[in-house]
Chains A and B, each alone.
Chain A
Amino acid sequence: MKTLTEVVTKSPSIYQPVPARIVSIEELTETEKLFTVALPGGLSLHHSPGQFLQISVLGIGEAPISISSSPSRSYGTFELCVRRVGDLTTALHNLKRGDIIGVRGPFGRGFPVGRLRGKDLIFVAGGLGLAPLRSLIYEVLDQRGNYGQLSVLYGSRCPSDLLFKDELAEWEKRDDMTLSITVDHPDETWFGEVGLVLNLFDDIYPNPRNAVAVVVGPPVMYPSVIERLLSLQIPEGSIWLSFERRMKCGVGRCGHCQLNHIYTCREGPSFSYSEIKDLEEAL
């Protein structure tokens, strides 16, 4: 099967997107929607968890969006969890089932799936960070035997902001993973943890020699979570992060995503802490 990358790199211009159809839209929260998108003509996305796509709404523009679905569950479609936050994402939210979007990619270096094999996994998600992590969670769940323990720690602003609520409920029931959730601002429906995602670390006791952490969240979350992971003796090279940056090209040229000398779109968006800890513009 031909991959999207092959089509994009062989098209006359690397900036030319491939038209893809929205096959379903699910409203996850007031500001987030999950788009299921089908590529044309049996093209496969062939991505790895943590990679991103440049998504166009024709006539509006283009923006980088991380892929929420796992390669193990592609079925000829992929999923994008999109928060309505800017011009492009607002336009995306206005689209309907059947509408066409433009797709380029997948770009960047995803999470180090190979290095996670046999390891105990700690996934830490803050807010929309769950979107790219979901891709990795299913990658692990669908080949469960290849990995050790799986702990997912998820912090959200408030209960109504929780993403993938049905799936969270399913994950909670599973006995081959643990899921802990906390919210900053509880409401009357909330009986769970309250406070920062850091609180959720109190219940996990990773073996530092065999643990790998993958952390995705807003910039403000990283320093404290990294500090906690280091205090648990997790090695710097076993702490993985994913960065959000402005990206116009996706191929390491336009300059917007550069952190120090590194192009986030090309060398990242996922990095081990040891790779970026000395780069002031990273964290």
Chain B
Amino acid sequence: MAQYERYIRPKVAFFDFTSCEGCQLTVLDSLQTSPELLDMIEIVEFREAMSERSNEYQIAFVEGSCTRPADEERLKTIRSTASLVIALGACAHLGGINAIKNLRPLPEVRADVYGDKADWYDTYAARPISAVIDIDGFIPGCPIDRDEFIRVVKMLLQGRQPIIPDHPLCIECKLKENVCLYLRGKICLGPIVRAGCGAICPTYGDGCEGCRGLITNPNLDSMKMVLEEHGLSFEEVEQKLSMFMAYQTAGIKSEAEGATS
């Protein structure tokens, strides 16, 4: 168990890499609903919300995955400046949606996206920031859960390592007394995905897509069997498991094929 310093109004910075910035929007949202947060932390850099910047901060929240060699340098600078680096959201935590591209040869992906200008871009396989730097914690989700963000900030202020649930979503979904989506003829990754979002998708009738990542030791074989029993083809099962979790479930295929530039 890591021992963290306790903080009194620490300087906090937000950084973004390859992402939609939705997690930072959720942070902004939480600042609006809980403005007293600003009494507890001092935000010194947050491109979404302010123009000031700073090279001095204790806690860095990083949104987005690392998708270019140049990202690595920037991440290392953040790491060397901050006492604590927290991955913010699925892209930083898991590689996220960006990592879908890892399933195909990179030149092909680049050509699809950038056409004849593909050579101008040095994008490489997407990876979570933890593949590049050590991190002190993560807040999962696409986007992050507002309440969980506040909970993590409180734990960091207390000098604690953030505690993120590592049990399946089904637990939380049942606490909400949702009718299981499988009983409603739908598909859901709840049994193998990390809880903590309040089962928001199943509550509104959509199956879990796995944005918070796999629990430790998921029974993937059994999950795949269930998905196939409920009508998904082998390919569809693989797609389901790689929407947010391509990096976790498949690694970097494109690099394995020697397709990096």
Q: Do A and B come from one complex?
A: yes
Query: Which residues of B from 123 to 179 have beta carbons under 8 Å from A?
Result: 158-161, 163
List residues of chain B with CB within 8 A of the CB of A91: 158-160
**B158/A90 in contact, CB under 8 A:** no
Shortest Cβ distance from residue A139 to the other chain B in the assembled complex, whole angstroms: 32
Partner of B159, one of A84, A86, A94: A94
**B160/A84 in contact, CB under 8 A:** no
Residue of A with least CB distance to B161: A87
Shortest Cβ distance from residue A45 to the other chain B in the assembled complex, whole angstroms: 28
Interface secondary structure of A, over-half rule = helix
Find the residue from B3, B159, B160 having the highest chain A CB count within 10 A.
B160
Residue of B with least CB distance to A57: B158
Partner of B158, one of A60, A85, A86, A93: A60
User: Any chain A CB within 8 A of the CB of B76?
Assistant: no
**A84/B1 in contact, CB under 8 A:** yes
**B6/A90 in contact, CB under 8 A:** no
Residue of B with least CB distance to A59: B158
Residue of B with least CB distance to A86: B1
Residue of B with least CB distance to A87: B160
Shortest Cβ distance from residue A25 to the other chain B in the assembled complex, whole angstroms: 15
**A90/B3 in contact, CB under 8 A:** yes
Shortest Cβ distance from residue B54 to the other chain A in the assembled complex, whole angstroms: 28
Cα distance, A60 to B1, chains bound together (Å): 14
Shortest Cβ distance from residue A255 to the other chain B in the assembled complex, whole angstroms: 14
Cα distance, A91 to B160, chains bound together (Å): 8
Shortest Cβ distance from residue B156 to the other chain A in the assembled complex, whole angstroms: 13
Partner of A85, one of B1, B6, B159, B160: B1
List residues of chain B with CB within 8 A of the CB of A59: 158
Cα distance, A89 to B158, chains bound together (Å): 13
**A94/B6 in contact, CB under 8 A:** yes
**B1/A87 in contact, CB under 8 A:** yes
Shortest Cβ distance from residue B151 to the other chain A in the assembled complex, whole angstroms: 13
List residues of chain A with CB within 8 A of the CB of B6: 94
**B160/A93 in contact, CB under 8 A:** no
Given A59-B158, A60-B158, are A87 and B163 neighbors across the interface (CB < 8 Å)? yes
Shortest Cβ distance from residue B164 to the other chain A in the assembled complex, whole angstroms: 12
Shortest Cβ distance from residue B207 to the other chain A in the assembled complex, whole angstroms: 30
- Residues of A participating in the B interface, judged by any CB pair closer than 8 Å: 59-60, 84-87, 89-91, 93-94
- Residues of B participating in the A interface, judged by any CB pair closer than 8 Å: 1, 3, 6, 158-161, 163
Having A60-B160, A94-B3, one finds 13 other A-B pairs with CB under 8 Å, namely A84-B1, A84-B3, A86-B1, A87-B1, A87-B160, A87-B163, A90-B3, A90-B159, A90-B160, A90-B161, A91-B159, A91-B160, A94-B6
